[in-house]
Amino acid sequence: MSRFLDISVFGASARFLRLTNLEQLAAKAQAFDGTKRVWMPDESEAYTEVEVREANGDKTTVETKDGRFVVVREAELQPMNPPKFDMMEDMAMLTHLNEASVLFNLRRRYSMWMIYTYSGLFCVCVNPYKWLPVYSTEVVAAYKGRRRTEAPPHIYAVADNAYTDLLQNGENQSMLIT
């Protein structure tokens, strides 16, 4: 069995669960300079992407996307992950696991209606406030008997893994849903 499940088994739900191979390759091919691209706190967006122009002691001059130059304390900046980590299914795999990167990843996935994301052992769901076709019997069947790492993040994967462990190990299993 391959490491990843063929996404076509999800039918019409596939685009709400995982990027296509072509989309994943496109993200990996983007150029990135990790010493220049960072996150800066922003009042309206929580964090915004900026480019470091000059570092002088604990003060750093950055350029915003709209061309403004701002001087901030170096301690306020958070490192940014390379584009190959965009839309990461498990945020524990991010090179830079910080507040800005987690929020960016969740926002990017949500913008594509990929509402489920793992964070280590946890499954994070961002409420889409609309019905998505990710709860069909076809989707249930695709997760049945699969390891969590073989399929895209979903509450069905968490539930099936807990149920399987209960049957195999006879141990108490718990699942937190809020």
Residue 10's pLDDT is 87
Q: What DSSP letter does each residue of 35-87 carry, written as one string?
A: TTEEEEEETTTEEEEEEEEEEETTEEEEE-TTS-EEEEEGGG-EE---GGGTT
Q: Number of structural domains, the chain? A: 2
Torsion angles phi and psi, residue 77, rounded to 5: -85, 145
Low-confidence stretches of the chain (pLDDT < 70) are 1-6, 171-178
Asked if residue 157 and residue 90 are part of one domain, the reply reads yes
Asked if residue 139 and residue 99 are part of one domain, the reply reads yes
CA distance 42 to 49: 9
Asked if residue 159 and residue 104 are part of one domain, the reply reads yes
DSSP strand pairing (59-63 vs 46-56)? antiparallel
We report the CATH number of the domain holding residue 75 as 2.30.30.360
Residue 27's pLDDT is 78
Asked if residue 140 and residue 69 are part of one domain, the reply reads no
Asked if residue 165 and residue 106 are part of one domain, the reply reads yes
Residue 59's pLDDT is 96
Asked if residue 165 and residue 95 are part of one domain, the reply reads yes
Asked if residue 153 and residue 99 are part of one domain, the reply reads yes
We report the CATH number of the domain holding residue 148 as 3.40.850.10
Domain assignment of residue 175, yes or no? no
Find the domain containing 136 and state its range. Answer: 7-29+83-169
Asked if residue 87 and residue 19 are part of one domain, the reply reads yes
Asked if residue 88 and residue 17 are part of one domain, the reply reads yes
Residue 2's pLDDT is 41
The pTM of this model reads 0.86
Residue 116: exposure state from Cβ atoms within 10 A (0-12, 13-18, ≥19) = buried
Asked if residue 145 and residue 58 are part of one domain, the reply reads no
Residue 171's pLDDT is 60
